[in-house]
Structure 1
């Protein structure tokens, strides 16, 4: 938590760290020496400048785990999967190329996480919180769940980079592995512990994994209609 005085008023930053640094986004470019900390937290990310319309400021420090929604960028695997499978279903794309199918991630719904951020800002005393679902699913599971919701039935054949995903309903190979999508230093598991947020904020994710996949698919289906 970092206070700074502007026009005689104290305001606060909500420091939202990412487990995957992108170094993107609007941020307050201040040297650490210019900011006086009121709570001793290691600075590991950007400082985001949040201000309410009334000029009243409040804050919490949060690590928001991997949150998804239809607004997710196409370079992220969840959006890449839903976008591609809908196009394949509609005949607009032949195949989806992926990397590590076994990577496991703690995927949650962005709206749930934003509500958690709001709850942080309602607390009288700033504290550290982790917003996460507390469960992981693999890239393979995401593909299979999305395919099933679209009426596809994936059968896997081969191993390693030669593995393929075939839609049993059509016999079409729709998933292939491309080594270029493997990360040089792959993190196999990313999992958050939201216990503190649940006990102190009363927060917990409402949207479960399959519902999240459906929300993202429905948005792609609507987009394809336009």
Structure 2
């Protein structure tokens, strides 16, 4: 089996590459730009992946990648995925996270031609599409009401994937993934921002952490668990959409409490400052997914719980920061 992964440099791309390589796949990863600083990260972490240069906004580069990789499965994980950044760069987010999905779907259709059945497609949809939630918990049938340029772009990609499935019979599935984290998460995301800051505070390298809304709640899972759900979707006879979540919700305040606890800091409130700059223009207050369909159809269950996940991330950052500071 051969697979092409866009967004291979992100946490999901790395975990998915490891999973597919362990199953004997030949894995190709699409990487953007010349001298991409994450090139070495991918080569070091998953040396079995063959890297191809391309860009979701460049239709011809996607066609070239498809012709080289000749994939049986395509996993479109590529996106501008930091929600706060999407407010500052709404047009670029729309081009990459939204129209980029159309580009790769259309490139796949043209490349496969009359033999469209030979390839299966996965689209990384997002719980941010639910935004101003219309029911709790959120499931596949819940009305989408995005509250950020990122969420709007993801809705476009989600419905375009459904459209190609229904119009052309493409085996195209979407995973509506709720927040999933890991030690490989970028430091701009709130979970890694917390684990990194807590580690540095515990080592005396930082004095405080500045946060936004501490009462926001999310359904957090482990990225390493969630990539298995992606793979399982493409093993089904019929394509479909699935919510991938833990079914539990936790606040930023709980995240901080567990993180400081792992670092051995009991009294932590005075170490956390709040700044309105970190509060979204249109906040998403409560996201919690109903993974019943993924559980019953895919046989998928999350293995790593919230507390274990946070502690894992803090331990990883403590080890990394000790090494960097030579403590």
TM-score range, shorter chain: 0.7 to 0.9
Counting helix residues as a fraction of each chain, which structure ranks higher?
2
- Contact conserved, 2:216 with 2:252, CA < 8 A, in 1? yes
The equivalent of 2:322 in structure 1 is 225
Equivalence map 1:57-72=2 (5 Å): 59-72=172-185
1:4 aligns with 2:109: yes
Shift of 1:143: 0.1
Q: Cα 1:98–1:7, aligned 2, differ >3 Å: closer, same or farther? A: closer
- Equivalent pair of 1:13/1:59 in contact (CA under 8 Å): yes
Structure 2, gaps ≥5 residues long = 1-104, 129-148, 152-156
Structure ranking higher on relative contact order (CA contacts 8 Å, 6+ apart): 1
Query: What CA distance in whole angstroms lies between the structure 2 residues aligned with 1:188 and 1:136?
Result: 11
- In the alignment, does 2:214 pair up with 1:101? yes
Q: In structure 1, list runs of 5 or more residues that go unmatched.
A: 24-28, 41-56, 156-164, 166-172
Partner of 2:289: 192
Matched, 1:74 2:201: no
Q: Is the contact made by 1:144 and 1:154 (CA closer than 8 Å) also made in structure 2?
A: no
Q: How does 1:171-186 map to 2 (within 5 A)?
A: 173-186=270-283
1:58 Cα deviation after fit: 6.0
Q: Deviations over 1:45-83 (max 9, x none)?
A: xxxxxxxxxxxx965321111110111111111111000
TM-score by length of 1: 0.74
Bigger share in strand: 1
Alpha-carbon separation, structure 2, partners of 1:184 and 1:38: 34
Question: Helix, strand or coil for the counterpart of 2:317?
Answer: helix
2:300 aligned counterpart, secondary structure: coil
The alignment's TM-score, normalised by the length of structure 2, stands at: 0.52
8 Å CA contact 1:59, 1:120 repeated in 2: no
Asked if the contact 1:65/1:107 (under 8 Å) is kept, the reply is yes
Larger-Rg structure:
1
Q: Deviations over 1:175-211 (max 9, x none)?
A: 1111211112111101111010001111010000011
Query: In 1, Cα distance between the equivalents of 2:209 and 2:244?
Result: 31
Q: Which moved more, 1:205-214 or 1:183-192?
A: 183-192
Tell me which residue corresponds to 2:298: 201
Q: Which residue of 2 aligns with 1:130?
A: 243
TM superposition shift of 1:151: 0.8
Aligned mates of 1:63, 1:38 — CA distance in 2? 16
